[in-house]
Chains A and B, each alone.
Chain A
Amino acid sequence: MEKIKSIADLKKIKEKVQAKIDLREKSEQAENLIQIKVAMATCGIASGSKETMDYFIDNLEKSGIQAVVTQTGCMGYCYAEPTVEITKPGKDPIVFGQVNQQKAEEIIQKYLKNDELVEGIIPVNYNTIND
């Protein structure tokens, strides 16, 4: 192990491990952050929701967006998998269908960054069992 020799060294280690702890710290105050739930039941995984989830996790960080990415059970739109439910603080949740990596990028750039809606929104009016 290289010894830490300065405040700068210490900061470097902090930055390196920050993301890991972030996941725990952020989840404690999830309602103040953007929440992204990826449906990860069998139907979702088969249609690539795992890749979608990975894409969100890796690229949100790069775009500097603070969000909590979790998985949920089947939302009942198996025809539209992978489905993703996004809740911005203080807003109603929106469900997007057929979110592949391309769509995910579009959601990040348009909806998350600029509040512009993108195509593929599934109209919903239900309460999830988890709430």
Chain B
Amino acid sequence: MSYKMHILVCGGTGCQASNSQGIIANLKEELTNKNLENEVQVIATGCFGFCEQGPIVKIMPDNTFYTQVKPGDSEEIVNEHIIKGRKVNRLLYRDPENKERVSDSKHMDFYKKQLRIALRNCGLIDPENIEEYIARDGYAALAKCVSEMTPEEVINEVKFSGLRGRGGGGFPTGLKWELTRKYKADQKFVVCNADEGDPGAFMDRSIMEGDPHSVIEAMAICGYSIGADKGLIYIRAEYPLAIQRLQTAIKQAEEYGLLGKNILGSGFNFTLEFRYGAGAFVCGEETALIHSMEGHRGEPTTKPPFPAESGYLNLPTNVNNVETYANIPVIMNKGANWFNKIGTEKSKGTKVFALAGKINNVGLIEVPMGTTLKEVIYEIGGGIKNGKKFKAVQTGGPSGGCLTEKHLNVPIDYDNLLASGSMMGSGGMIVMDEDDCMVAVAKFYLDFTVEESCGKCTPCRVGNKRLYETLDLITNGKATMDDLNRLKNLGQVIKDTALCGLGQTSPNPILSTIDNFYDEYTAHIRDHKCPAGKCKALLNYVIDPQLCIGCTLCVRNCLSNAITGIRKEPHTIDPEKCIKCGVCLTKCKFNAISIQ
């Protein structure tokens, strides 16, 4: 007897943090109480992407999508929905525009424009059950490659698909495989870059948690095509759930004979191992990653030689990103010809983005290349939070730039983003509104790069520190116009001279904000004003003499003794002494204190 209904509960890191495991436990208990445990199956899946509304519970076949579910809702879901067939209205998603409840994901703006290739199984299968992956054509691509295709044919298919690296560089994947195949060696390696160091990014983590077998299968296909029988997954130790899911998946694949010796009777052998990283951003750079795997300091070295020629243990090594791999089985199953119809001329397929910042629908999305920023922000993302005005969107993380209103209609792909002064990067997308100060945003990213610079080369180690200090002067109203020019010149020099991609791109957030928000920089420098009202040092607390009745409450609360005045007469704040703590503002009962 098969199950009549499936309850899919998100078991990704995000939803687990809001106790999706408690929901699963309660649902199971409730079903057992009602003797339904053999008719209704509860499955922990990977991430649905709609993290803003998590934890998500989906009921199949009714295709009902419940949001923000708590363990305490389990009883009602079982009693009402499962037993009586009535949807639990209050748990349905409410459309932010027309406030109507929507019961299935297909009718939500968040999902309408999405096309899920890399995320195809996330939220649909149980990542800890290899058979569910097999049911979704899992390992069929590997089987086809090793038993019906030559390695060259596999490489040609990948080349023809037009797939480019999703880790940031956008290098053509088929070409990389071909290069690695060309180098002769007794031992070669397939490496998966699962370092994912961009602040706020969780694309790769979600794929590994929600569909670990797709990465494993693709690595084996890569091994077959380049002539490697060993794969290494370099993953940060901060991803315990992803590690555990991958471990389970590898163990199952071995048990089923899909990893190991003589896979599917083809004579091809392939095994996988882990290498753990400590979470340094620079260790995502492929040469630093390889050194870290070898047990050395995670510092980059110059290229060439590229890893394809001399990588792990100085042997030919193919390094690809998690999302790049996740596309491979689909390409082999559906054909390069299917894949290269999706996307734009030079960027094929889809891209996963982690949508964050001042946007209504925070979460993980996957869209065809060529989708515009406007569609992503206003349709999928549901627009700017609290009805505020859109100001900018940062793509490419600390290596990228800010795009503005005038870029909203740009179709997203590798080349267009570069031409607009940003880059694709690994898929972070942070939306900013009118309350965000662009100088402060640039400073935030520089703070990150200064912290993460490995220190090996001078331009990056010293140069970025100087850039940061200059930004600090600007946000404190102590910079001159000369400093602004220096920022631009030094930024360019660092880009031209730094050793690795980290330094070569670190000035981008500054350069692009200077380009797009020049007036905001000059306002800080010339007028000592922060137009967004974010830079504390440039704010002044003032007392309105019309409203102040001289109650002296603020005087007693100001720890810096910045407020003076005679009782029952209007008081004043000495800007030199004021440390802008904001206490007086909250204490004054007459709204006499304001920020200017």
Residues in chain A within 8 A of chain B (CB atoms): 1, 3-7, 9-10, 13-14, 16-21, 23-28, 30, 37, 39-41, 53-54, 57, 68-74, 130
Asked if B61 and A21 sit within 8 Å, CB to CB, the answer is no
Contact of B62 with A by CB under 8 A = yes
6 tightest A-B contacts by CB?
A3-B257, A27-B61, A21-B135, A17-B135, A72-B85, A73-B85
Closest chain A CB from B63 CB (angstroms): 4
Whether the pair A23, B134 counts as a contact (CB closer than 8 A) is: no
Interface string of B401-445 (1 = CB under 8 A from A): 000000000000000000000000000000000000000000000
Query: Which one of B61, B125, B139 lies within 8 Å of A10 (CB-CB)?
Result: B139
> Does B576 belong to the interface (CB within 8 Å)?
no
Q: Given A6-B264, A28-B63, A23 and B6 touching (CB < 8 A)?
A: yes
Indicate if B37 sits at the interface (CB-CB under 8 A).
Answer: no
Indicate the member of A1, A4, A41 with the most B CB atoms within 10 Å: A4
| 0/1 interface trace, chain B 114-157, chain A, CB 8 Å (1 if under) | 00000000001100000110111101100110010000000000
> Other than the known A10-B139, A20-B2, A53-B4, what 17 A-B pairs have Cβ atoms closer than 8 Å?
A1-B255, A5-B264, A5-B265, A7-B144, A9-B264, A14-B137, A17-B131, A17-B134, A17-B135, A19-B2, A20-B3, A21-B125, A23-B6, A23-B60, A24-B60, A28-B63, A73-B85
Q: With both chains docked as a complex, state the minimum distance between the C-beta of B108 and any C-beta of chain A, in angstroms.
A: 13
Instruction: Check B338 for interface membership: any CB of A closer than 8 A.
Output: no
* Chain A residues with CB under 8 A of B4: 53-54, 57, 69, 71
B128 CB to closest chain A CB (Å) equals 14
Q: Is the CB of A70 within 8 A of B139?
A: no
Contact of B85 with A13 in the complex, beta carbons under 8 Å:
no
7 contacts between A and B (CB under 8 A): A4-B264, A21-B136, A27-B61, A30-B61, A30-B63, A73-B84, A130-B103
The answer to whether A4 touches B136 (Cβ under 8 A) is no
Closest to B262 in A: A5
**Interface SS majority for chain A:** helix
Distance (Å) between the CB of B129 and the closest chain A CB? 9
Name the CB-closest residue of A to B61: A27
- The residue that B63 contacts in the complex, of A5, A18, A27, A57, with Cβ under 8 A, is A27
B132 / chain A contacts, CB cutoff of 8 Å:
17, 20-21
Q: Which residues of B contact A41 (CB under 8 A)?
A: 84-85
A1 and chain B: residue at smallest CB distance: B255
Question: Least Cβ distance of B7 to chain A in Å?
Answer: 11
CB closest chain-A residue, reference B125: A21
- Are A10 and B134 in contact (CB-based, < 8 A)? yes
Whether B86 sits at the interface, judged by CB under 8 Å, is yes
CB of B526 within 8 A of chain A?
no
Q: A5-B264, A20-B135 are in contact. Are A70 and B61 (CB under 8 A)?
A: yes
CA A73 – CA B82 in complex, angstroms? 10
Please tell me if the beta carbons of B134 and A13 are within 8 angstroms of each other in the complex: yes
Q: Is the CB of A40 within 8 A of B135?
A: no
List residues of chain B with CB within 8 A of the CB of A40: 83-85
B346 within 8 A of A: no
Contact at A14–B134, with CB atoms within 8 Å?
yes
A114 to B143, CA, bound (A): 39
Among residues of B, the one whose C-beta sits closest to the C-beta of A7 is B143
Contact of A28 among B106, B140, B144 (CB under 8 A): B106
Evaluate whether A70 and B135 lie within 8 angstroms (CB atoms) in the complex, with A28-B106, A130-B87 already known.
no
- Residues of B contacting A13 with CB < 8 Å? 131, 134
CB neighbours (8 Å) of B62 from chain A are: 27, 70
Report if B258 contacts A (CB, 8 A).
yes
B256 at the interface (CB under 8 A from A): yes
Say whether B264 contacts A27, CB under 8 Å: no
Which residue of chain B lies nearest to A26 when distances are taken between CB atoms in the complex? Answer: B61
The answer for the CA separation of A26 and B60 in the assembled complex, in Å, is 9
Q: Which of B8, B83, B258 gathers the greatest number of chain A CB atoms within 10 Å?
A: B83
User: Closest residue of chain B to A9, judged by CB?
Assistant: B264
In the bound complex, do residue B264 and residue A10 qualify as a contact, i.e. CB atoms below 8 Å apart? yes
Contacting residues, chain B, for A26 (C-beta < 8 A): 61
Q: B154-186 vs A: 1/0 string, CB under 8 Å?
A: 000000000000000000000000000000000
List, in ascending order, chain B residues with CB within 8 A of A73's CB.
Answer: 84-86
Q: Is the CB of B85 within 8 A of A10?
A: no
Query: Which residues between 13 and 68 of chain B lie within 8 Å of chain A, taking CB atoms?
Result: 60-63
Partner of A4, one of B8, B83, B256: B256
